Structure 1
Amino acid sequence: MSVSLTKGQKISLSKEGQGLGRVFMGLGWDVARKGGLLGGLLGGGSGDIDLDASCLVFDQSGALVDEIWFRQLQGMNGAIVHTGDNRTGAGDGDDEVIRVDLAALPDTVKALVFTVNSFQGQTFDKIANASARLVDETSGQELARFVLSESGSHTGLVMVKVYRHNNEWKIHAIGEKTTGRTFHDMMPAIKAAL
C-alpha cells in the first residue's frame, strides 16, 4: 500500500523485515492550463516545461560523492541510473525516472537526495499534477508518493531524502522550496536537508 507523504514525514522502507533491493523514483508533471473555456480551447498553457529530476549521493560525513542528472545519467558504478531527460512533461505517468539498486550501494553511502528543478526557469505556478513516487521495482508496488502541489514562484524543490539508519532504508519527505535551474544552484537547501 502506498503512503501519501506530507512535508516532513518519515517512513521506513523495509518490508516485513526484508530490505528493499531495487527501487525507482518517478517524477511526473503537466503544464498548468489557464482557466476558462477559451483557455482550454486555445491550449491555454504556457508551452512546454522542462523539469529535471536529480539524485545526489552523500556519504556519512555529508560530502557529495556522486550526482545523477540529465548530464550524467549513471552513477555509483551503475547502481543509480537516470532514464533520460523529458523536456515537456507530455504524456501520462512518470516523465523522468531514476532507478536505484539500494543493495549495490556501498556501506559508505548515507543518503540519496532527490530534487526537481525547472531548467528553463518557469516557476511552479506554471506546473500542474506534479508528483514524485518511490516504487519497489521488483514488485511494482508504489511505496510512497509525494504530491508537489504547492504552486509558487520557486523554480526548484528538494523533494525527498532516502537514507540509511540502523541498516534500514527510510524516506523523509523534505518538500523544501528553493530556486535554481540545476541542482548546483540548490546546494544550500540540499545540504540543509541532510
Structure 2
Amino acid sequence: MPISLTKGQRVSLEKDTGKSYDKIVMGLGWDARVQPKKGFLSFLTGGGESEIDLDASVGLFDNRGNMVDQVWFRQLRSVDGSVEHTGDNLSGQGAGDDEQIIVALNRVPPQVQSLVFVVSSYSNDTFDSIDNAFCRMVDASNGQEILRYQLTTQGPHTAMIMMTLYRRETGWSVRAVGETAQGRTLGDLTERMRQYL
C-alpha cells in the first residue's frame, strides 16, 4: 500500500516501507484545467481543454548547499549517470506519469546529500491552469508505487518545490515540500531549492 504524503511530512524509505531500494522513479503528472468555451456554438464543441507544458527537474546538492549537478529537459542525465530524465512532455495529456526522473540510489555519488525535485512552467502558465498535479515515487524493480504526494496548491505561481530526497546514516529519506515558487527553469529556482535541503 503506497504512502500518501502530506505537506511537510518526512518518510524514511527503508524504515517506513520495510524495504531497501536500489533504483526509484519519480513521476510527475498533471492535467490542463478545462476552460469553458464561450460563444454561440460552444454547446456543440464542449469545453476548451488546453495544453500545459510543465517540466520536472532535479538539483543534486552537497552538504554545503552547493548544486553539484542537475537534470532537466536540457540535460537529461547527470554527469555520473545515476540520475536520468526520460524526456519532456509538452502537454500533460494522457494518463499516468507525464514526466519521469529515474534515480539509481546505489550509484548517487557520496558527495550528493540531497536531491530537490521541482516542477516549473517553461511557458509561464500559472498553476491556476492546472488540475490533478501529483508526484509519486515508484520502485523501479517492479513498478510498485512507494509513495504519492498530491499537489493541491493552485494559484498565480509558475513553479513548485515538490520533494526532497536526502541521505542520512540510516539511508534515504523523503520530505514532501509542496511550496510555491516563481520560475521557468531549474536555474531560476536554485536559491529557493536551497531552503529545503
Q: TM-score range by the shorter chain?
A: over 0.9
Contact 2:164–2:174 under 8 Å retained in 1? yes
Asked if the contact 1:33–1:39 (Cα under 8 Å) also holds between the matched residues in 2, the reply is no
CA 39–177 in structure 1, closer or farther in 2 if over 3 Å, else same? farther
**What stretches of structure 1 of length at least 5 have no aligned partner?**
none
Q: How does 1:157-168 map to 2 (within 5 A)?
A: 157-168=160-171
Q: 1:44 aligns with which of 48, 51, 66?
A: 48
SS of structure 2 residue aligned to 1:77 = coil
Q: For residues 46-72 of structure 1, what are the alpha-carbon distances to aligned partners after superposition, in whole Å with 9 as ceiling and x for unaligned?
A: x21100000110112111000000000
SS for the counterpart of 2:48 is coil
1-structure distance, mates of 2:122, 2:47: 22
Structure 1 pair 21/14, CA: closer, same or farther in 2 (3 Å)?
same
Report the residue type matching 1:84 in the other structure.
G
1:33-72 matches, within 5 Å, as: 33-34=34-35, 38=42, 41-45=45-49, 47-72=50-75
User: Judging changes above 3 Å, is the alpha-carbon distance between structure 1 residues 39 and 179 closer, same or farther for their aligned structure 2 residues?
Assistant: farther
- What is the match of residue 2 of structure 1? 2
Unmatched 5+ stretches in structure 2: none
In 2, Cα distance between the equivalents of 1:90 and 1:157? 20
Instruction: Give CA deviations for 1:95-119 in whole Å, capped at 9, x if unaligned.
Output: 1000010001122110110000011
Identity over the aligned pairs, expressed in percent? 45
Identify if the C-alpha distance between structure 1 residues 24 and 39 changes in structure 2 by more than 3 Å, giving closer, same or farther. farther
**CA separation of 1:23 and 1:41: change in aligned 2, threshold 3 A:** same
Alpha-carbon RMSD across the aligned residues, in angstroms, is 1.9
In the alignment, is residue 24 of structure 1 matched against residue 12 of structure 2? no
Residues in 1 aligned to 2:76 and 2:31: alpha-carbon distance in whole angstroms: 23
Maintained 8 Å contact 2:27/2:101? yes
Where does residue 93 of structure 2 map in the other structure? 90
- Partner residue, 2:83: 80
Structure 1-normalised TM-score?
0.93
Are the counterparts in 1 of residues 36 and 47 from structure 2 also a CA contact under 8 Å?
Answer: no
Q: SS in structure 1 opposite 2:188?
A: helix
